[in-house]
Amino acid sequence: MELKRVVVTGLGTINPLGNTTSEYWENLKNGVSGCDSITRFDASKFKTRFACEVKNYDPNNYFDRKEARKLDRYAQFALISAEEAVNDSNLLYEGLDKDRVGVIWASGIGGMETLTEEFKGFFTGDGTPRFSPFFIPKMISDIAAGQISIKYGFCGPNFGTSSACASASNAIIDAVSYIRLGYADVFVTGGSEASITEAGIGGFNAMQALSTNNESPKTASRPFCKTRDGFVMGEGGAALVLEEYHHAINRGAKIYAEIVGVGLTADGHHLTAPHPEGVGAAKVMGNAVKDGQLKPEVIDYVNVHGTATPLGDVAEIKGIISVFGDHAFKLNVSSTKSMHGHLLGASGAVEAIACILAVKNDLIPPTINCDEVDELIDSRVNLTLNKPQPKTVNYALSNTFGFGGHNTSIIFKKFV
């Protein structure tokens, strides 16, 4: 069976670096930090008192008050980013077969804020169960996919994916697979997360996963740096419109890039830690290259998972060297999490957009905040430190890895 080709025709995002795709890219290429003190709640007693929050966000600017009350923050981000992507792709044209348009949306956690607030109300009350009728549909992690499909009347395959920090990449890969096999012509796909809450920060603090560099929050996300001490929580959402190649060509759609290779593996190693030699990471990148029928040396840029955790950064670089050999020292590597933080289940979609725009604009976004590279990381790897680097980018590879050992890789190709 000959698989169908998949192209990207629409982009949308709201994240700590921008409330639109253009604003995101402008701040990304300029090396802007999206981190600051937490404003969502009083974090004064927490070990970590900073995060990468979405800036200047008022849900009433996007939804009427009644609608906003029915949507968890993570679902709001989903609808906002999906709307930008759908409009960007000019998808709602006359004659669109909405039965052939699906939605696959990701969240690693879902409505954590809703869950927290409902439980607070119950446990601080008199014990009488008073829960909102919207509690469950606001909280569940699949509801964003449902909300997007309901808004536009898209009646193709519709579900949510959840694989921790690999969730959005899993959603994208699922959408690619469904289009390749002919189950739909178009997908709105991506992910959103809104876990900057007391429970979110407290839970990751308890795991010792978050940076506690409260003295310098804007430089706290330090992938590859010798002084890194954990990741910085982010929030937001990002959406891609994926289309079957001929469907996009026939309607004259703008095409950003083509998705040519995908990979999925598991470490099978540890609950939260990667395999120290990057075995799972190497396999998933190798699988993506093989799926695209490519040679490893064609890859120009790897947007790494790069969370700034002591174990993860080292293991991922080892995996890259294992797959690419000497070419690992010729391609560019960067972690955009140094700027927008770690958006958990939304990471793969936000970073996919970074890859797509790097391919489109021939510019590698930087890794910021690294003034001294960890000696355990091979110094020959070009980490694109602190400044963007102009470069012809024909192929970009995006990695995302999740707790539980979930590994994903996606390869984006310049469309010419």
Q: Beta partners for 243?
A: 7, 186
- Residue whose tokens read 């690992």: 328
Which residue of the set 247, 305, 340, 406 is catalytic? 305
Torsion over CA of 6, 323, 28 and 143, rounded to 10 degrees? 50
How distant, in Å, are the alpha carbons of 114, 118, 121, 132, 173 from that of 124? 16, 10, 6, 15, 43
* Closest CA relative to residue 232, chosen from 23, 43, 383: 43
Residue 231 C-alpha from the chain's centroid: 14
Cα 335 to Cα 368: distance, rounded to the nearest angstrom: 8
165 is catalytic: yes
Q: How far apart are the first and last CA of the chain?
A: 25
269 is catalytic: no
Question: What beta strand segments (E) does 131-235 contain?
Answer: 158-161, 186-193
Cα 245 to Cα 199: distance, rounded to the nearest angstrom: 43
327 is catalytic: no
How distant, in Å, are the alpha carbons of 106, 332, 414, 415 from that of 24? 20, 20, 20, 22
* Closest CA relative to residue 309, chosen from 165, 167, 190, 411: 165
Q: Beta partners for 12?
A: 239
Burial of 295 (C-beta count, 10 Å sphere; 0-12/13-18/19+): exposed
* Closest CA relative to residue 120, chosen from 41, 192, 232, 204: 41
Which residue of the set 342, 355, 370, 406 is catalytic? 342
Q: Beta partners for 102?
A: 187
Cα atoms in the Cβ-side hemisphere of radius 13 Å centred on 312: 25
Catalytically active residues are 165, 305, 342
